[in-house]
Amino acid sequence: MRKQIAAANWKMNLSIEQAETLMTDLLASPIELTENQQAVFGVPFPYLININQKIAGKQHFSLAAQNCSNKVSGAYTGEVSVEMLKSIGVPYVIIGHSERREYFNETNALLAEKVNICFEYGLLPIFCCGEALQIREAGTQNSYVENQLKESLFHLTGESLRGFVIAYEPIWAIGTGKTASSEQAQEMHAHIRNVMAEQFGKEIADSISILYGGSVKAANAKEIFGQTDVDGGLVGGASLVAAEFSAIINSLKK
């Protein structure tokens, strides 16, 4: 069975004291993870080492950076390289979050470079894709998301994508209180898996974990995660509340 993942994206939130308190509360929560389940914490860069130390030895808990540079090293003030992330033991990197695409003009071509450099250094990308409200209202969301996948991932080999992680974000449902229905989530997740199967084969596509990201809460997580092609979630605001996120983790498919 492909891996079921609850990934927290803290975004640009919390002081270090608040971050450590949140992790202490989460670690004290009654969270039970099976062999095919994982909780991943996408925390701000300054907190990566601290939080990594807190989850050290905690089975099925992992860390993610929220972004990385497409450059190996050099005169790129303010950037963080995958080599730096690897050196402090960070296994995952969130690539192409909708906020990075929108506010920092990250293109599909740039994201292809970031995926490449993650693979080169042995880091695991969580590749984000998804459509804005106007795309959804125009009914062109399937072709739009398909193009994101093609331009950022189709240059890769199928074997390199075995066990890959994709996060589908309906942008119109992020931080708005709106949520795609479980049927809408399943429809897009199935489309993404079909697109990957057509390019890389069914075996590879069936190994890919596809997460839903868009106002996931404890109240709706079980229904959304219960869909055939939904393999967990990339969670924003609800991941900042220990009781909420622990319930979301426990909603993963067994």
Enumerate the active-site residues.
Answer: 97, 169
SS3 61: strand
Place of tokens 């509340």: 241
What span, in angstroms and rounded, lies between the C-alpha atoms of 132 and 137?
A: 9
Element (H, E) at 39: strand 37-42
CA 64 to chain centre: 9
CB 147 within 8 A of CB 111: no
CB 233 within 8 A of CB 245: no
Element (H, E) at 147: helix 141-153
CB 130 within 8 A of CB 170: yes
CB 7 within 8 A of CB 126: yes
Element (H, E) at 219: helix 218-225
